Structure 1
Amino acid sequence: MNNVSLVGRITQAPELKLVGEERFCTKFNLAVDRYLGSTQKDEKRNEGKPTADFPRITVWGKIAENCCKYLDKGALVSITGKVSTSRFEKEDGDIVYMTEIVADRVQFLESLHSENKQ
C-alpha cells in the first residue's frame, strides 16, 4: 500500500506553474519534525532531540492553485498522498533518482496569507 500522511510547515512560498496547456502544478518542501528514539543505535546520543525531514511535495490541479493562493512560507499543513520515485540520466551518464510525495489532499491547518498574494 502506497499511502503517506505528513504534517509540517512549508519551507518556501508555493509558486504556480502551468504544465502543458491546462494543467497547474506546484512543488514545495515540507519541514516535518522527527524525534530520535532509543531504537536508532547510531543516533543514541541525540535521543529525545528533534530533527527534521524535508520531503518534496508535488501538487496538481485546483489544489495546487489553492495552495499558491492561500499558503505562504511557514504555513502548517497536512498532506496525504503517495510516494513517487523517478529517474533520469545526466549528460555524464550518471543516473539520478528522485523521490517525492504526490499530494492527493492538502489540508490548511493555518494560513500565513500575505497581503501581496492577492
Structure 2
Amino acid sequence: MLNRVILIGRLTKDPELRYTPAGVAVTQFTIAVDRPFSSQGGEREADFIPVVTWRQLAETCANYLRKGRLTAVEGRIQVRNYDNNEGKRVYVTEVIADNVRFLESNRDSGGSRDDAGSYGGGSAPSSNQASRGGNNNSGYSRGPAADPFSDDGKPIDISDDDLPF
C-alpha cells in the first residue's frame, strides 16, 4: 500500500505554530495548488490543501515560510474525524508533511537565508543542503549578479507543457 503526495503551491497565509500539552511543535498552513485546466469562463482554479508539520520541521516552517511563498510539500494524506459542539461528526482531510521545500528565496521578507532550501524529517537548516536536495553553491559567488538562477523577485512563467510530470 502507498500513501504519498507531492504538492507545489503558494501559502495562503503565514503558518500557525502551536505546541501540544506535551511540548511538541505543530504547524498548520494551507497551500493553493493551481488546477491544470481553466474553467469554462477561462479562469484558472485552485485547490486549497491543508498541511500539518510536526516537531523541528514545524518550527522551521514557522520561521521561514510566509504568505505567498512557493513551496513544495511531500507527505501523506490523513483523514480524521471528530464530533463538534453540535454533536455532528466532522471529517478533516489534510497532508501530514515530512519534507518541505522552500522554492523561493527569503530576500523579500528580510530573512537571513538567501537561498531556497529543503527541510524534512526533523532536520534543521544547515550549510550542507546538497545531501537533502537543496542548493550547493560551493565554488560560486553568492552575489546577486553572479547567480544565474536568480529570479530578481519576478514570477517565472512556465507552461504546463514544460513540466516533466
What TM-score results when the alignment is normalised by the length of structure 2? 0.60
Q: Does 1:15 align with 2:9?
A: no
Q: CA deviation at 1:9?
A: 0.5
Number of residue equivalences: 110
Q: Which has the higher contact order (CA 8 A, sep 6+)?
A: 1
Counterparts of 2:22 and 2:83 in 1: how far apart (Å)? 26
Higher strand share: 1
Partner of 2:124: none
SS of residue paired to 1:27: strand
Measure how far apart 1:53 and its partner are: 0.2
CA RMSD of aligned residues (A): 2.1
State the match for 1:85 in structure 2: 79
User: Could you say what secondary structure the match of 2:85 adopts?
Assistant: coil
Aligned counterparts of 1:110 and 1:86: Cα–Cα separation in 2 = 32
- Structure 1 residue 71: Cα displacement: 1.2
Off by >4 Å, runs of 4+ in structure 1:
none
Aligned counterpart, 2:91 = 97
Structure 2: tracts of 5 or more residues without a match:
112-165
Deviation at 1:115, TM superposition (A): 4.1
Q: Deviations over 1:62-94 (max 9, x none)?
A: 111111111110111100000000111123332
Match of 1:40 in 2: none
Q: 1:76 touches 1:111 (CA, 8 Å); kept in 2?
A: no
Partner of 1:114: 109
Match of 2:118 in 1: none
Structure whose CA Rg is larger = 2
Map Cα deviations across residues 1-31 of structure 1 (whole Å, 9 max, x no partner): 1101000001111121111233101101000
CA distance in 2, matches of 1:111, 1:16: 21
Matched residue of 2:16: which SS? coil
Question: Which of 64-73 and 85-94 deviates more?
Answer: 85-94
**Letter of the aligned partner of 1:21 in structure 2?**
A
| Alpha-carbon distance change, 94 to 14 in structure 1, aligned in 2, over 3 angstroms | same
Identity of aligned residues (%): 39
Structure 1 residue runs without a partner (length 5+): 38-42
Distance 1:17 1:111 in 2: 25
Partner of 1:50: 44
Q: How high is the TM-score relative to the length of structure 1? A: 0.82
- Measure the CA separation in 2 of the matches of 1:13 and 1:91: 27
- Which of 63, 67, 72 is equivalent to 2:61? 67
